[in-house]
Amino acid sequence: MQKLARRVAQAQRQAGRRSRQRVERENIDNRTRNRQALRAGVAEVRQNLKDAKQARQEDWEMGPLAPKRDLGFNNYGAFRETVRQDWTNHGLHQPRPELLHQRCAWAGGVKQLNLAVGDRVVIRDGPDKGKLDTIKSIQPESGTVTLEKHHRALAVGMFDSPARSQAMPISVGSIRLVYPITNPETGVTRDVVINQLKAVPPNMKSENMTLDRWEFGNKWDRLVPGINVVIPWPEVEAPEFEATPSDTVREQVEERTFYYSLLSPPMPGKVIDELRNKYSRFRTRHEPSYIAQKQMEEELVQARTEAIKSMQTPLDEFHEMQREIRDSQGEPELTDDMLQKIGEVMASKKAALLTEAGVSEVHPPSLPTAGSQ
């Protein structure tokens, strides 16, 4: 059984080492790809500046004869995909936690992000600054969203395929929620930019607090601090699913089909084998029959060893007795006399080699002791 335990421990160490190596290779590949993409983005920006200078010069010199660049077939004035990428995470899969918190701070934080698909927002940064748009999708793990109309890039496919417009992620910190709010003094309703949102539990006793159904589940309310106005979630229609003969309905899942007592395992043995992989190298719990088989194999090996010992000659018995004596004595230790003798032999050999080479031995100057003047 000790052999089985050693085999399992070795398999676990090997699997852990392979996993660490795989993660390191993936990190290196990701950094390499991001470095290449960043270099391509910088080169594209430089090329755009160069093309803009050339276009300005041609427009000035050629006048009406200047080429028509706004016809659409040459993608003039379009931002490429590499330019619109977010490079604030330094080539990693996820941005730093402090950066993620800074992006989502105004919207209630990462864990309770008060944004949903369908919200109207205004863009505060970039070439689309000041434009209104609607949220198309949200990526809370990176603190970004994609919009329906703006902040798009031109994605060029392989083999000179035609370019297509693609929505690029924009940081949550670069947008603000827009919602119509009625002024209680004047009674005028107009769109207001919401610069801060706060998550509020829906069970608070207030006439403004509601329990809205958002993304098919009960969520919190989003409140504008200072004016205590609850911004309702966008209306979402719950999808209607139709069960087919191949589906497992909820009644079948909740139906109890297995009964057990204190003398039986919590689930059938076949289910345990499916979950735990009966023939896995990492398995530490074995069946009694398998343990009995391994013990029988160990007993056979031990019996074979005893049989070999019974047929030893007197010389083999003497050698075995000497080995047992040496094992009982432990490792030998060098005494001071032995070390002195070894030093004398080394010094004599060194002197003989120097004499053969015709070099006189140079003695280092003696260092003064602590009590000498």
Q: How far apart are CA 322 and CA 308, in angstroms?
A: 18
Total residues found in the chain within this entry = 373
CA atoms of 151 and 67, how far apart (whole Å): 28
Hey, which bits of 195-324 come out as E strands? Answer: 198-200, 213-214, 217-218, 221-224, 229-231
Per residue of the chain (373 residues), what is the pLDDT tens digit? 778 888 888 989 999 999 999 999 999 998 898 888 888 888 888 988 898 898 889 888 888 887 776 655 555 555 555 655 665 654 445 678 888 899 999 998 888 888 988 899 999 988 889 999 999 999 888 889 999 998 887 766 555 566 677 888 899 999 999 999 988 888 888 999 999 998 887 655 444 545 454 454 556 888 898 888 888 888 777 778 888 989 988 888 899 887 777 887 777 778 888 888 888 888 887 888 888 888 898 889 889 888 888 888 888 889 988 988 888 887 878 889 999 999 999 999 999 888 888 766 555 555 444 444 4
Q: Give DSSP secondary structure letters for 95-116.
A: --HHHHHHHHTTTT-STT----
Q: What does DSSP assign to residue 225?
A: T
What pLDDT is recorded for position 172?
Answer: 92
Please report which helix (H) or strand (E) contains residue 48, including its range. Answer: helix 2-62
Q: Using an 8 Å Cβ cutoff, are 103 and 143 in contact?
A: yes
For the chain, the distance separating the N- and C-terminal CA atoms, rounded to the nearest angstrom, is 70
What pTM does this model have?
0.52
Chain CA centroid to CA 131, Å: 35
| CATH no., domain 95-238 | 2.30.30.30
Closest C-alpha among 4, 191, 154 to residue 74? 154
Alpha carbons 119 and 258: distance in angstroms, whole number = 48
What is the separation of C-alpha 136 from the centre of its chain, rounded to a whole number of angstroms?
Answer: 25
Q: Is the dihedral of CA 134, 138, 143, 145 positive or negative?
A: negative
So what's the pLDDT on residue 158? 57
What does the pLDDT read at residue 372? 45
Do 115 and 172 meet the contact criterion of CB atoms below 8 Å apart? Answer: yes
Beta-carbon contacts of residue 150 (< 8 Å; ≥ 6 apart): 123, 128, 131, 133
Q: Which residue has the tokens 């019974």?
A: 310
Residue 111 has a pLDDT of: 86
3-class secondary-structure state, position 300: helix
With H, G, I as helix, E, B as strand and everything else as coil, classify residue 57. Answer: helix
Sign of CA dihedral 122, 128, 130, 133: negative
